[in-house]
Structure 1
Amino acid sequence: MSQTSGDTPGGVLRTRQLLQLSLPALLIGVASALTLWLLDELAHLLQQVWWQTLPAALGVDPDGWWVVLILTLTGAAVGLVVWLVPGHGGTDSATTELVAPTLPVSALPSVALVVVLALAGGVSLGPESPIIAINTAIAVAVVARLWSAVPTELVVVLAAAGTIGALFGTPVAAALVFTGILAATKAPGSLWDKLFLPLVAAGAGSIVASMVGGGISMTAGIPAYQPENPAIEALWGIGIACAAAALALVGIAVFPHVHRLFRRLRNPVIYTALGGLILGLLGLLGGPLTLFKGLEQSAELLANPDAYSPAQLAVITVVKLAALVVAAAAGFRGGRIFPAVFIGVALGTLAHALIPGLPLGLAVACGVLGLTLAVSRDGWIALFIAVAISGDITLLPVMCVVILPAWLIVRVAPEMIVHPKKQEPSGAQAASA
């Protein structure tokens, strides 16, 4: 990480400099949380209109053919933005990491529009990637004017950390995500010196998110884990996590092929509308639980897990995985972590139903760990979400053991990212086609 002028010999920041940089870090965290809250509120209002107000006014069942109609129209709307609106919805989410290269400010209205449409329309993607892209672009532009001495690379890290802190409602998630990233940098200094400013931004983001009612509650109210036979239960946990990782890798293996098939249609309106149609049909097959980003649906599933038969849980799991692959490949903008959490919850609930005496909290945590590990390829975030979804810190030692064989499965497998030879067609390119 680059440093400001006046550093101590070797590039290590002084305490005074850390304190001075804390102000922009604090403001970036606050602004990141407010941007997340604003876009989430807009998506929620639009979601209510599409899925409650209009069906009630028209006297139609929102869980019937309405699902196909809304998702198809959502796909067409997103495609129109990607095709015609300046900025074209930003970078194709299928081709980027969680923290992508900084976008120009001129592209942000189109990115905001496509993420609001996708969240409101029931697309099986989370908000994390587009929101981070929006916040980093704004932060880089503003800091370049007000604090030009602050390095751009640091601003990107602070905006991403502030957004992650706001998303999860805690700076812990950001600390874990950036531990590996910052530890790998060649800049001198201790890891905690490098984490200091990102934690300021993440802490500010999480506090503001809780104040405005934003952020995401991961805890699902699962009964506390009370081990009866820890060794056997740990073995079952390893099996569930490895099965979850293997299932995710099936989706990851077909992901680039599905992405390529959609892009053969060339025009974004066509392939995103088709993607929306397929998502609608999958929604009819899997039911309302398989729509949207998945966290609220995870809580709904865990509120009454016995209401679903093993066959229903199997269908929900497979349908949601298919929906994640289609949504991510068909040109929608969004992140893949939150849908992966739901798939892990469904798979863990299925394991609990099939294995007598297996604690629900352990089964769900292992399912979530395996899915998020394969999709995110980040062991820290997988451990964090697995424990957070159960709300039980006593599961952490078991999860630290369970993750090891699961990591051996995913470490050499392909990641859920596409490296196309040609970028997604711009509006002008698509129009000429």
Structure 2
Amino acid sequence: MSDTAAAEAPSPSVRSLLIMAVPAILVGVGSALVLWLLDLMSEGLQHILWTTLPQSFGATEATPWWIFTVLTVTGAAVGLVIWSVPGHAGPDSATTELVEAPLRPGVLPGLLLATVIGLAGGVSLGPENPIIAVNSALAVALLARFVKAIPLPLAMMLASSATIGALFGTPIAAALLFTGAVAAAKGGGALWDKLFLPVAAAGAGAVTMHLLGGKALSFQVTPIDQTDGWMLLWGLLVAAASALIGILLAWALPYVHRGFHALRNPLLISLAGGVVLGLLGMWGGPMTLFKGLDETTELLRHPGDYSAGQLALFAGVKVLALLVAAAAGFRGGRIFPAVFIGVALGVLAHVLFPGIPLSLAIACGCLGIVLAATRDGWIAIFLGAALVGDPVVLPMLCIIVLPVWLMVTKAPELVVHAQPESAAAKA
């Protein structure tokens, strides 16, 4: 279809949008329920591993030998799932983007099991990549069976939007994330005609997650009283430093990935990763474990409780933990750990240079590394602004993101291009 023909193609009718909104909302509710169940299972197992069991051995979740033991066993368990469960827990998360082609339904049980074990065991990855993959596969399979009018690409977009809305507690994140993709797609109609169904799904997912008591990535930090031009410069420096760390992380990922996968057997790969994560956990303590949402909350609620040395330790260990977790075959996403790193860097910048407003430092710390990790300016701006809840910060982020984008646009991506599946993985 030519550009002229695409521009002249008719917009969908209000009636068709309303009819199609019904399955979109159902996908939103269903996607949030799957995420809620995943959180429920992982948090239940986490409580057993980090609260109930250590008490039986005279330890706590902060006891170094317990951290090392749990992460090592977690690595072995995830590796065993990848090695032996049908479907091998889906593709290596280090090789996947946030939204990928739908998986076969037979892959999903192993992927969910590996994800739950990793989240509960303290692995520094979030749930976003696996849960989007699971919800996309379920939506494609169910809609293809019961609502044949929805094509596969739209089914995937609905499930992805719904899951992102549920993950971040608002449909705005999904609307921003998919604006670029929708604007680039061929076909007629206004942009919001195309966004109507994904936003409906995302809104349903977000509301359902709120009703189920899910946690939202939104906080209130002391707002900026008065702005001046120097704040833009300080914010740019913080964001640029954070982005540089993200770029170095992306540069190192393929090499570390190659090193772990030289072991060939998935059990050995994740076991080795678990050992390294255990050592890092002993060094960094409980604040550097898990996906990072609760730990981000702790930093934002009590930013003055930590010294510059502690904050640098948290950020540095979390960077290494994210690198190892992503490279060693664990299933999970990279956004939530990146947000924790960005917040730790932002609070560190404020501690070292008190003249930088705390809300601006945190927002810019988050913006830089998330931009490097996702290559999406909208989601980076959204997360930076949502973390601090300061409306004065938003326009500054819209300016600061521009030069930082020039830093990351030609830098390595935080993803490993998939290699042909090894014979060991097929065994």
- What TM-score does the superposition give when structure 1 sets the normalisation length? 0.95
Cα gap change, 1:424 to 1:237, in 2 (>3 Å): farther
Task: Determine the structure 1 residue equivalent to 2:206.
Answer: 206
Counterpart of 1:122, as a letter, is G
Q: What displacement does 1:9 show?
A: 8.1
Task: Determine the structure 2 residue equivalent to 1:34.
Answer: 33
Task: Determine the structure 2 residue equivalent to 1:5.
Answer: none
Q: What displacement does 1:305 show?
A: 2.1
Task: Determine the structure 1 residue equivalent to 2:296.
Answer: 298
CA–CA separation in structure 1 for the residues paired with 2:277 and 2:122: 9
Q: What displacement does 1:420 show?
A: 3.5
CA–CA separation in structure 2 for the residues paired with 1:392 and 1:92: 37
Tell me the alpha carbon deviations over residues 254-278 of structure 1, each in whole angstroms, 9 at most, x when there is no partner: 1000011111100011010110111
Q: Which moved more, 1:54-63 or 1:32-41?
A: 54-63
CA contact (8 A) 1:263 1:424 kept: no
Tell me the alpha carbon deviations over residues 253-312 of structure 1, each in whole angstroms, 9 at most, x when there is no partner: 110000111111000110101101111111111111110111110111222222222122
Task: Determine the structure 2 residue equivalent to 1:250.
Answer: 248
CA–CA separation in structure 1 for the residues paired with 2:22 and 2:418: 40
Task: Determine the structure 2 residue equivalent to 1:114.
Answer: 114
Cα gap change, 1:172 to 1:241, in 2 (>3 Å): same
Task: Determine the structure 1 residue equivalent to 2:4.
Answer: none
Aligned residues: 421
Equivalent residues in 2 for 1:215-234 (5 A)?
A: 216-227=215-226, 229-234=227-232
Counterpart of 2:212, as a letter, is V
Task: Determine the structure 1 residue equivalent to 2:137.
Answer: 137
CA–CA separation in structure 2 for the residues paired with 1:244 and 1:284: 24
CA–CA separation in structure 1 for the residues paired with 2:216 and 2:146: 34
Counterpart of 2:275, as a letter, is L
Equivalent residues in 2 for 1:67-78 (5 A)?
A: 67-78=67-78
The 3-state SS of whatever aligns with 2:291 is coil
CA–CA separation in structure 1 for the residues paired with 2:377 and 2:418: 26
CA–CA separation in structure 2 for the residues paired with 1:165 and 1:309: 34
Instruction: Identify which of 328, 331, 336 aligns with 1:330.
Output: 328
Q: What displacement does 1:383 show?
A: 0.3
Q: Which moved more, 1:152-161 or 1:415-424?
A: 415-424
CA–CA separation in structure 1 for the residues paired with 2:8 and 2:242: 48
Counterpart of 1:345, as a letter, is V
Structure 2: runs of 5 or more not aligned: 2-6
CA–CA separation in structure 2 for the residues paired with 1:39 and 1:278: 26
Equivalent residues in 2 for 1:32-431 (5 A)?
A: 32-63=31-62, 64-214=64-214, 216-227=215-226, 229-423=227-421, 427-429=425-427
The 3-state SS of whatever aligns with 1:393 is coil
CA–CA separation in structure 1 for the residues paired with 2:8 and 2:91: 39
Counterpart of 1:162, as a letter, is A
CA–CA separation in structure 2 for the residues paired with 1:89 and 1:76: 14
Cα gap change, 1:106 to 1:126, in 2 (>3 Å): same
CA–CA separation in structure 1 for the residues paired with 2:27 and 2:20: 11
CA–CA separation in structure 1 for the residues paired with 2:26 and 2:20: 10
CA–CA separation in structure 2 for the residues paired with 1:359 and 1:353: 10
CA–CA separation in structure 2 for the residues paired with 1:361 and 1:354: 15
CA contact (8 A) 1:88 1:110 kept: yes
Structure 1: runs of 5 or more not aligned: 3-7
Counterpart of 1:51, as a letter, is W
CA–CA separation in structure 1 for the residues paired with 2:239 and 2:183: 27
Counterpart of 2:55, as a letter, is A
RMSD, aligned α-carbons: 1.5
Q: What displacement does 1:181 show?
A: 1.1
CA–CA separation in structure 1 for the residues paired with 2:228 and 2:330: 43
Counterpart of 1:217, as a letter, is A
Q: Which runs of 4+ in 1 moved over 6 A?
A: none
Counterpart of 2:57, as a letter, is L
Q: What displacement does 1:425 show?
A: 5.2
Q: What displacement does 1:220 show?
A: 3.2
Tell me the alpha carbon deviations over residues 6-26 of structure 1, each in whole angstroms, 9 at most, x when there is no partner: xx9836422221111111101
The 3-state SS of whatever aligns with 2:387 is helix
Cα gap change, 1:424 to 1:335, in 2 (>3 Å): farther
CA–CA separation in structure 1 for the residues paired with 2:361 and 2:402: 16
The 3-state SS of whatever aligns with 2:19 is helix
Q: What displacement does 1:219 show?
A: 2.5
Q: What displacement does 1:84 show?
A: 0.6
Q: Which moved more, 1:125-134 or 1:280-289?
A: 280-289
Q: What displacement does 1:423 show?
A: 3.1
CA–CA separation in structure 2 for the residues paired with 1:206 and 1:167: 7
CA contact (8 A) 2:220 2:390 kept: no
Counterpart of 1:114, as a letter, is A
CA–CA separation in structure 2 for the residues paired with 1:428 and 1:132: 24
Cα gap change, 1:154 to 1:424, in 2 (>3 Å): farther
CA–CA separation in structure 2 for the residues paired with 1:233 and 1:427: 51
